[in-house]
Amino acid sequence: MIWLLLCCAIVAVMIAVAVMAWRKWIAPWRQLEELVSQISRGERPPTFLVEGGAHAQRAGLQFEKIFHDLSELKKQIAKRESGMQTIFSAMQDALLVVDSNRRVVVTNEMFRKLFVLPEIFVGTPLLEIVRNATIDQVIANALDGGAPVREELALEGSLIELHAVATRNQAGEITGALVLFHDITELKKMDQIRRDFVANVSHELRTPLSILRGYIETLLDRPETPRDELSRILGVMERHSKRLDLLAEDLLTLAQLESGNPNLQLEDVDFPSFFEEVVRDWEKKLAHKQLNLVVDVPPGLPPIRADRTRLQEALYNLLDNAVKYSRERGDIRLMARRRDGEIELSISDNGIGIAKEDLSRVFERFYRVDKARSHDNARGTGLGLAIVKHIAQLHGGRVEAESELGKGTTIRVVLPIAVAASL
């Protein structure tokens, strides 16, 4: 009996020791294991209090601090990533970053648009998404030499300038390459326009200057020139000097219109009175070729808010062309009307017309349709329609041209209804 009681006591003591050991050592470790599991999943544990001894409790508090530090780190990383994505999205240039194995590290939206690509995953081999020998060579040169590389790439009607530079780690080792894709199509066009403009101005100046210089040399070599011949020479010199003056005036006008500060003086322009002024100013030129001018303004057409002087200048240039290219006793129609929420001003003639292949270029500076008569000084400076286009654009509008050889031409200045003073 005594042995039985002793055995029971020993068993009870062992159970008590086991329970205490469970609570102090085993149970806390299971709680700590659960804490680690929840933190690794990014979940916040309901509590960091761990049952058991002081060591287990201190471990729980340390896990709470670790969780808090991880949360702050994630916020900082997310903030930086958001900032970088904002920068990448705002970039007008396409961006590509690859590692040393030419796997994608970073791209932006402009890169995906440039190559018409869906979402690109980090680590994707570049050759799986873009196969281009120029891009491949630029990256290879950047990775091999480490120096910045520049190259041009023709891509579906656009000209892209590539800038590649090697990326390095803190030890200075090359880890990949960064490539920027800059669209220089418009820059190239503007540069060509500038070159053409300089060439055209030089060409336009050369003829009158050569003639003036030739006649001046003639007068110097022959001071006793007969009066009739002298009168003829002075007449020619006057005509060419006027042409130079007109060219300089048109160039200054065009430069002012293309500047960032055209200084428009807006006012309400009423079409009946406005057209009346225009017709009065052109009576003599129209009568010289016996041209019939028809003015068509529908009743109730509202005035528009525009720079009266500039608008008058545009119509004068259009009338000048209509008079020049109209046959004698021809008709010219000056019309204003409302069309689809826009105000349309147009001048039509039944003159020689413009060929279809020339129609899209008539608003270019110095472009002349009648190249056979391009040296005829009565033909103007070649800047008139370019001036008309810029005046229309300054008012938020556009120009249109319609013509048929032998039947005449119609030029329209279309202004948005937003410039109307009252509707």
Q: Which residue has the higher pLDDT, 359 or 332?
A: 332
Tens of pLDDT, residue by residue over 108-150, are: 888 888 888 888 888 889 888 888 888 889 888 888 877 888 9
pLDDT of residue 423: 36
pLDDT of residue 35: 63
Q: Which residue has the higher pLDDT, 184 or 377?
A: 184
The answer on pLDDT for 64 being more than 70 is no
Tens of pLDDT, residue by residue over 388-419, are: 898 888 888 899 998 888 888 999 999 887 54
142-to-95, 170, 314, 364 alpha-carbon distances in Å: 15, 18, 54, 42
Q: Which residue has the higher pLDDT, 230 or 377?
A: 230
pLDDT of residue 10: 57
User: What is the residue type of 155?
Assistant: L
Tens of pLDDT, residue by residue over 317-331, are: 899 888 888 888 889
Using pLDDT thresholds of 50, 70 and 90, give the confidence band for residue 42: low
Query: Across residues 22-29, what is the average pLDDT?
Result: 52
pTM, two decimals, is 0.57
Tens of pLDDT, residue by residue over 262-295, are: 677 888 888 888 888 888 888 888 888 888 888 8
pLDDT of residue 374: 42
The answer on pLDDT for 422 being more than 80 is no
The answer on pLDDT for 18 being more than 60 is no
Q: Which residue has the higher pLDDT, 354 or 32?
A: 354
Query: Across residues 63-87, what is the average pLDDT?
Result: 64
> How far is residue 81's CA from residue 74's CA, in Å, rounded to a whole number?
10
Please state, for a pLDDT cut of 90, what percent of the chain lies above it. Answer: 4
Query: Across residues 170-174, what is the average pLDDT?
Result: 84
> How far is residue 319's CA from residue 333's CA, in Å, rounded to a whole number?
10
pLDDT of residue 50: 59
The answer on pLDDT for 164 being more than 80 is yes
User: What is the residue type of 161?
Assistant: E
pLDDT of residue 252: 80
The answer on pLDDT for 382 being more than 80 is no
> How far is residue 213's CA from residue 202's CA, in Å, rounded to a whole number?
16
Q: Which residue has the higher pLDDT, 372 or 258?
A: 258
> How far is residue 149's CA from residue 391's CA, in Å, rounded to a whole number?
43
pLDDT of residue 375: 41
Q: Mean pLDDT lowest for which of 3-12, 223-232, 244-253, 343-352?
A: 3-12
